[in-house]
Amino acid sequence: MKSTQLGNFQPIILRIFQSVLTNGIIVREYGEFVVGALFSNTPLIVVSGSMVLVYAIAVRGGVEIVGRFSDLFLPAFFILFLLIIVPIIPDLRVAHMLPVMGEGIMPSIAGSLVLQIWFSELLTASFLLPFVSDQKKAAKSISYTLLAVILTLVVSNLATLLLLGDLTGSYTYPFLILARYINLAEFFTHLEALFMAIWVLGAFVKICVFYYVTVLGAAQWMNLSDYRPIVFPLGLLLTLFSIWVAPNYQKLTHAISTSVIFATLAMFVIVPGLLLCTAWVKKTDACMKQFGKRFLAAAFVGRFVQPLKQFLWRVVRPPLFGIVHIRGDIAEAVDHKPKRFLEDVKSVPDFSRFQL
């Protein structure tokens, strides 16, 4: 590679690698859930491979497929979520969450670090902004998305804690236990299928977005005119990464709560922040070079000279004209130009309202 391209190579390849790694972790999480909760005798590679195949077909169809799928299943997602939360409201006990911050605020801050992984991943939505027809509504939609994610997390975790109490930490999937707890008149029971549907719908959209971003970034890095030819090869790599990220689920959860936090924050928060600062500095430097001394002169005139001129016209000039009684003999004595001076005097506004 040329030395001029080396500066662009490092952040791009790191970003692509981080996207593949993050997507592999997500696929592994959902694969472990499906195998552990439903298909205990099915090999993990079969579940992960079949999931990635479906995601690859959707990504190959384009970003419109993912967007329309989200619009279609978003109401179903919230309906299924409410069908799990509402029936257990009578069994919730506020005493299970007491004492609030009994050991101080530091354990709560330490526990919130894991959630920062999910919130920082919202930056992935910026890759979809070039395909948005109305850019002004994009920021508002992303803000609504962030609020919806926060509300969903708070409600689900709070409901689980108020129902299970101290036993919440002993379960691998506590919200699944919450769904199995529901029993209304021996008829409305075993709602873990609803939880499974919620998880699959959310997994499909999230993994497809990360998958699309990874494929699009790789295609732009390799200067390809179309990203579709590398969708299935990257799908195979994604499946392998989902197996390579950790030997078992315990190691995976430990990595997510330790090293993955710093890697994700570095690639999704720190690096984009540095790129934003660099772009701002370059833009400012380009403006300075383009306008040069004219820019500085205009800024100086607009900042100092123009306010001083307005001050002299509004404050200093009226009293001076009020003190000096302009008459014909004075006009003849000034520069020996009485006619021109009198014409200038007639054009002066009436300052009689000013008090001496």
Give 136-188 pLDDT, tens digit per residue: 788 888 888 888 888 888 888 888 888 888 888 788 788 878 877 777 766 66
C-alpha 18: how far from its chain's center?
Answer: 17
Residue that wins the pLDDT comparison between 208 and 295: 208
User: Of 20-24, 285-289, 297-301, which one has max mean pLDDT?
Assistant: 20-24
Tell me the helices (H) and strands (E) count for the chain, helix number first: 15, 2
pLDDT of residue 344: 47
- β-bridge mates for residue 184, sequence order: 188
* CB 224 within 8 Å of CB 231: no
Q: Are 38 and 173 in contact (CB under 8 A)?
A: no
Give the C-alpha separation, 37 to 39, whole Å: 7
Helix axis angle, 174-181 to 63-85, nearest 10°? 50
Specify the range with the lowest mean pLDDT, choosing from 254-268, 279-293, 339-353.
339-353
Alpha-carbon span 79 to 198, nearest angstrom: 10
Q: How confident is the model at residue 293 (pLDDT cuts 50, 70, 90)?
A: low
Q: Does the pLDDT at position 213 exceed 70?
A: yes
Which of left, alpha, beta for 171 (phi over 0: left; psi -120 to 50: alpha)?
Answer: beta
CB 48 within 8 Å of CB 28: yes
Q: Nearest 10 degrees: CA dihedral of 37, 39, 43, 46?
A: -110
Burial string for 234-262 (b: 16+ CB within 10 Å, else e) reads: bbebbbbbbbebbeebeebbeebeeebbe
Q: Which of 21-30, 96-105, 184-193, 249-258 has the lowest mean pLDDT?
A: 184-193
- Which of 4-13, 119-128, 205-214, 268-277 is predicted least confidently? 4-13
Residue 352: name the closest of 326, 328, 319 by CA.
Answer: 319
Nearest C-alpha neighbor of 48 from the set 17, 21, 24: 24
Distance between CA 42 and CA 342 in Å, rounded? 104
Cβ 206 vs Cβ 19: under 8 Å:
no
What percentage of the chain has pLDDT greater than the value 90? 1
pTM value surpassing 0.75: no
- d(CA 165, CA 24) in angstroms, rounded, equals 32
pLDDT at 2 exceeding the cut of 80:
no
Q: Do the Cβ atoms of 139 and 122 come closer than 8 Å?
A: no
Mean pLDDT of 287-307: 55
Instruction: Answer yes or no: are the C-beta atoms of 153 and 175 closer than 8 Å.
Output: no
pLDDT 10s digits, 268-289:
888 888 878 888 887 776 666 6
Of the chain, the end-to-end C-alpha distance in Å amounts to 79
313-339 pLDDT per residue, tens? 565 555 545 544 444 444 444 444 444
Query: Between the CA of residue 247 and those of 28, 31, 158, 244, what are the distances in Å?
Result: 11, 13, 31, 7
Contact at 8 Å (CB) between 208 and 66? yes
At 314, the amino acid letter reads R
Contact 81, 153 (CB under 8 A): no
Token code pair at residue 34: 């499906």
State the Cα–Cα distance between residues 30 and 48, nearest whole angstrom. Answer: 8
Q: What is the pLDDT of residue 303?
A: 54
Residues 135/141, Cβ–Cβ less than 8 Å: no
